[in-house]
A and B are shown apart, each in its own frame.
Chain A
């Protein structure tokens, strides 16, 4: 028996520990040190510090892996796996959390709901995400998922006096709890098959059975329902448009990138781990889901007039593209998923940040018409939004093209020509609705109105996401190398 708490455990835990510690510190300092609402923006410093220390922890993990010349190491008797994959995804989560925290104070002040616990919830949700990327045990993964989801349930309903926000939170909570039930049922079947909650044991147990074994199928089906709900794949997508629309826009942004990226990390861990031997069963299932997701996401987005709903459907369709990468399933496909998640994080965050900036004291800024004449009133925001939308649509030389490029490449390599053609066809549909937004911004003429909201954090975050969206597209080499590190997964 090894030591109860080894130095390896220490390496594996430090980032999560930092996030949780600073999350609690935020809650404490909120009412001890910053009782006045005006001062609360200084809590962002705590968020930044927590994320900074967590990032340092990731660097140390990376250095440790490099020094020991390891591909991965496990900690806590196999409950956590630290590998290129977990580190890569964790960097994405940290970046998303930091950006969301930066832009939130102005928005929450306008909404009149600027409370300190918001920042604590961001850090705690990020802590949950950490375990989704690094967990190697059914229980760890499930606890991570619930930690993240609980924080999001609260954040979605953060606008206490807003009916839409409350409605969104209840819907999200009910459906989310329901899907978690499915997921945990699937996990219990897996445990029954393996007699252990370690992913490695479950993988071996399922591999020893036929892919069409009814118990394996039961585990696969129920687990998939839970996972597909989290990534808002059709037919489990119903919650997404309502939750996205009702939630505070900053939370929508976080939900659409942080929660989605973490759920994809989780999904990859499960489908390429325990369920990998049942590929012949889930591949057609997931193909059908992916096609349905692309279809519903893209076609429903066409008729939306609320920009948050439009982006919600667009993010559903992006989930479809990322699923295609998993379906292709070769090294290119998995790298494609990583690249796609990376670029999606920045471009989708950016698009939502512009919507955040549109929220002014008397203007909701969510309707397509509210974007009218943005080019005249605030050209910088309009141009940034153009870049984000082009990237979401996948037009080179923006980052989004690279994600789609990898997905198509992987599909062609694995001879999924039909899926490739479907995916390609929906790019044209997507252009139509993204360009409805562009049309409002650049072509519709609107009288001059209140200037868009602006704060240092918002400007910085928009600048960073905009520059990255272009930079990854124009000179992708370093970013591809970064994504390459994540493919070590099995």
Chain B
């Protein structure tokens, strides 16, 4: 059983989709019930991953390998380490909640909608589990198609534009990434005499800096568009604003993490020389800092609630890439934690927008005000999500941002100083948003009779709120899970790092 556990987790949603296709399209409620069962089952089967995971073991766990295309050297290899474990759990949980949240929002073409979600779920899980570059690429591309349809069919007024823009940007990046992959693949053949896509094998490559840089930039385009890093972020506001609520949630919480995950899993370990190259680091840090501050400033200016949250993603993902390219344990661990945090808190923020949008069909911030009076439960959940996103201590956002800043500070104090302004700006736009929509008197009569959260909606939020508080209050298990994989990456990129006197204390020491 255990050796097939990852495959089980990976293909449960896909199996659910095939069963779903057998249900006649007119039985909408049956379709909804089945889709929720499949989504929830997807989460349940992933729980044993946590129980079986050994945080003290190095390398990948629960690895499964089968031959797939021997003549290309492509194999079906899946396995997880601490980083993938967290992202897989985020995917299964948020995926199930996104399906639950769509119950009343989607009335048209219900069957196709849920089929797309389940297909996408398998694609995303595959990205986080694949240990073979070919397999990874297949899953990476598979994710695009369902998301195109989710935005394009069930989206807002400019859905067609947003959907194709999303598709084209990501695809353009990924074909360049494919060329990078092929270069590595061919270099491996030249050095070792056989073709393989296995990550562990490709890591044995010894490539000159110049070639590594070329491949690095090829990967960079693919991953940076997905993250999205400044200046490749322009697809994101369009896609987010036009997507249906659950689509935005998946997009923000999980799809964007595919980019940061790509940096962590492929760019750094496979191209260590290029990743530590001062020019590369400076450019990537520079873009991250610009994204943090620019994203926050643009968020401050938004009139549209959902667009504000979308731009806040640019800012938060800037922190994640900053942490990665600080290239020290704090930065990397903080980055992964912040990726999870962003998945939780921005997922919640999008759900929150979706709930009032479903009731009022507008996202103009000016249309709202004083909602706390009529929707107290909603206001409470929003407050938690907002504070967690803003990085208030005892909530998850603080842990991630603090650790990243610690890592950035260790690498270069100026970076940390710039990034810290992003934290302040982040608090500003979020608090201001909360003030404008929730507090004060109800000025718009249309808002007087808005119903508060119902039981289903509460059920969507509760797991996320609980997770946010857990990470905020007791992050130790997360740092323990991440300790090994992060150390491996640092060891790979900066072989001398752990042999020098420690510059800063490990994250656990500080937080204990």
Same complex:
yes
Q: Knowing A395-B144, A480-B71 touch, does A408 contact B179 (C-beta < 8 A)?
A: yes
Residue of B nearest to A439 (CB): B160
How distant is the Cα of A412 from the Cα of B190 in the complex, in angstroms? 12
Cβ contacts A to B, 27 pairs, < 8 Å: A375-B112, A390-B145, A395-B145, A397-B142, A401-B138, A405-B72, A405-B178, A417-B179, A420-B179, A421-B179, A424-B175, A424-B178, A427-B172, A431-B167, A431-B171, A432-B168, A435-B148, A435-B164, A442-B149, A442-B152, A443-B153, A443-B160, A475-B68, A476-B72, A477-B68, A477-B71, A481-B71
Asked if A443 contacts B176 (CB within 8 A), the reply is: no
Q: Given contacts A397-B138, A424-B178, could you give 17 more A-B pairs where the C-beta distance is less than 8 Å?
A: A375-B112, A390-B145, A396-B137, A396-B141, A401-B141, A409-B182, A412-B179, A412-B186, A421-B176, A424-B175, A432-B164, A439-B164, A443-B152, A475-B69, A476-B69, A477-B69, A477-B71
Closest to A412 in B: B182
Contact of A413 among B167, B171, B186 (CB under 8 A): B186
Contact A427 B145 (CB under 8 A): no
A438 to B153, CA, bound (A): 11
Selected from A375, A417, A428, A475, the residue in CB contact (under 8 A) with B171 is: A428
B261 on the interface (CB 8 Å rule)? no
Chain A residues with CB under 8 A of B70: 477
- A-contacting residues, B461-492, CB 8 Å: none
B183 within 8 A of A: yes
* B114 CB-CB contact with A under 8 Å: no
Residues of A contacting B182 in the complex (Cβ-Cβ under 8 angstroms): 408-409, 412, 420
User: Does A412 contact B183, Cβ atoms closer than 8 Å?
Assistant: yes
Chain B residues within CB distance 8 Å of chain A: 68-72, 112, 137-138, 141-142, 144-145, 148-149, 152-153, 159-160, 164, 167-168, 171-172, 175-176, 178-179, 182-183, 185-186
Chain A residues near B178 (CB-CB < 8 A): 405, 408, 424
Chain B residues with CB under 8 Å of A417's CB are 179
CA distance A425 to B171 in the complex (A): 9
A197 contacts B by Cβ under 8 Å: no
Residue of B142, B152, B172, B186 near A439 (CB, 8 A) is B152
Chain B residues within an 8 Å CB radius of A375: 112
Q: Which residues of A contact B172 (CB under 8 A)?
A: 425, 427-428
Q: Which B residue's beta carbon lies closest to that of A427? A: B175
Q: Is A484 an interface residue (CB 8 A)?
A: yes
CA distance A409 to B159 in the complex (A): 36
A439 to B182, CA, bound (A): 32
Closest-by-CB residue of B relative to A335 is B71
Partner of A480, one of B72, B112, B159, B160: B72
A interface, over-half SS: helix
Q: Give every chain B residue within 8 A of A396 (Cβ-Cβ).
A: 137-138, 141-142
User: A480 to chain B: which residues have CB within 8 Å?
Assistant: 69, 71-72
Give the 7 A-B CB pairs with smallest separation, nearest first: A428-B172, A424-B175, A396-B138, A412-B182, A427-B175, A480-B71, A396-B141
Taking CB atoms, residues of chain A closer than 8 Å to B112 are 375
Which residue on chain A has the smallest CB distance to residue B137? A396
Q: How far, in angstroms, from A409 to B179 measured CA to CA in the complex?
A: 8
What residues on A are CB-neighbors of B164 within 8 Å?
432, 435, 439
Interchain nearest-CB distance for B24 vs A (Å): 12
Knowing A397-B138, A477-B70, A477-B71 touch, does A431 contact B179 (C-beta < 8 A)?
no
**Would you give the 0/1 interface string for A406-449, flagging 1 where the beta carbon is closer than 8 Å to chain B?**
00110011000100110011011001100100110011000000
How far does the alpha carbon of A484 sit from the alpha carbon of B168 in the complex, in Å? 33
Residues of A within 8 A of B168 (CB): 428, 431-432
Residue numbers in A under 8 Å from B159 (CB-CB): 443
Bound CA–CA A477/B68 (angstroms): 8
Task: Evaluate whether A424 and B71 lie within 8 angstroms (CB atoms) in the complex, with A432-B168, A442-B149 already known.
Answer: no
On chain A, the residues within 8 Å of B186 by CB distance are 409, 412-413
Chain A residues within 8 Å of B71, by CB? 477, 480-481, 484
Interface flags, A459-479, vs B, CB<8A=1, else 0: 000000000000000011100
- Of the candidates B141, B164, B175, the one having the most CB atoms from chain A within 10 angstroms of its own CB is B175
Q: Chain B residues with Cβ under 8 A from A475's Cβ?
A: 68-69
Residues in chain B near residue A390, CB distance under 8 A: 145
CA distance A424 to B180 in the complex (A): 11
Measured in the bound complex, the distance between the Cα atoms of B164 and A428 in whole Å is 11
Cα-based distance from A475 to B179 in the complex (angstroms): 22
How far is A424 from B178 in the complex, measured between Cα atoms in Å? 9
Query: A395 and B141: CB pair below 8 A?
Result: yes
Which B residues are CB-close (under 8 A) to A408?
A: 178-179, 182
Report the minimum CB–CB distance from B475 to chain A (whole Å). Answer: 38
> Which residues in window 308-326 of A have CB below 8 A to B?
none
| B69 near A425: Cβ-Cβ < 8 Å | no
Q: Which residues of B contact A442 (CB under 8 A)?
A: 149, 152-153
> What residue of chain B has the Cβ atom nearest to residue A420's Cβ?
B179
Kindly state the separation between the CA atoms of A475 and B138 in the bound complex, as whole angstroms.
13
Q: In the assembled complex, which residues on chain B have CB atoms less than 8 Å from the CB atom of A424?
A: 175-176, 178-179
Q: Which residues of A contact B137 (CB under 8 A)?
A: 396
Distance in angstroms between the alpha carbons of A438 and B152 in the assembled complex: 10
Task: Find chain A residues with CB under 8 A from B185 CB.
Answer: 409
Q: In the assembled complex, which residues on chain A have CB atoms less than 8 Å from the CB atom of B160? A: 439, 443
Chain B hits for A409, CB < 8 A: 182, 185-186
Chain B neighbourhood of A431, CB < 8 A = 167-168, 171
**A421 CB contacts on chain B under 8 angstroms:** 176, 179
Name which of A401, A409, A421 has the most chain B CB atoms within 10 A of its CB: A409
Chain B residues with Cβ below 8 Å from A476 are 69, 72
**Cα separation A348 to B14 with both chains bound (whole Å):** 27
Residues of A within 8 A of B69 (CB): 475-477, 480
Q: A431-B167, A477-B69, A480-B72 are in contact. Are A425 and B175 (CB under 8 A)?
A: yes
Which residue of chain B has its CB nearest to the CB of A409? B182
Q: How far is the CA of A435 from the CA of B168 in the complex (A)?
A: 10
Decide if A427 touches B171 in the complex (CB within 8 Å): yes
Residues of A near B167 (CB, < 8 A) are 431, 435
Bound Cα distance from A207 to B176, whole angstroms: 38
Assembled-state Cα–Cα distance A375/B152 (Å): 14
**Taking CB as reference atom, which chain A residue is nearest B214?**
A417
Q: What is the distance, in angstroms, from A401's C-beta to the closest C-beta of chain B? A: 8
Residue in chain B with minimal CB distance to A393: B171
Minimal Cβ-Cβ distance residue in B for A436 = B164
| Distance (whole angstroms) from the CB of B169 to the closest CB of chain A | 9
Q: Which A residues from 369 to 423 make CB contacts under 8 A with B? A: 375, 390, 395-397, 401, 405, 408-409, 412-413, 417, 420-421
Least Cβ distance of A467 to chain B in Å?
16
Question: A445 → chain B, closest Cβ, in Å?
Answer: 10
A189 to B382: give the CA distance in the assembly, Å. 81
A475 vs B69: C-alpha distance when bound (angstroms)? 7
A443 to B148 CA separation, bound complex (whole angstroms): 11
A217 to B321, CA, bound (A): 55
CB distance from A456 to the nearest CB of B (A): 24
Q: How far is the CA of A484 from the CA of B69 in the complex (A)?
A: 13
C-alpha gap A397/B136 in the complex (Å) = 11
Name the CB-closest residue of A to B189.
A413
Q: How far is the CA of A470 from the CA of B179 in the complex (A)?
A: 23
Residues 84-118 of A contacting B (Cβ, < 8 Å): none
Chain A contacts of B142 at CB under 8 A?
396-397
- A435 contact set on B, CB distance < 8 A: 148, 164, 167
Closest Cβ of chain B to A330, distance in Å, is 11
B149 to chain A, nearest CB (A): 7
Cα-based distance from A292 to B182 in the complex (angstroms): 24
The interface centre, meaning the residue of A421, A428, A481 with most chain B CB atoms within 10 A of its CB, is A428
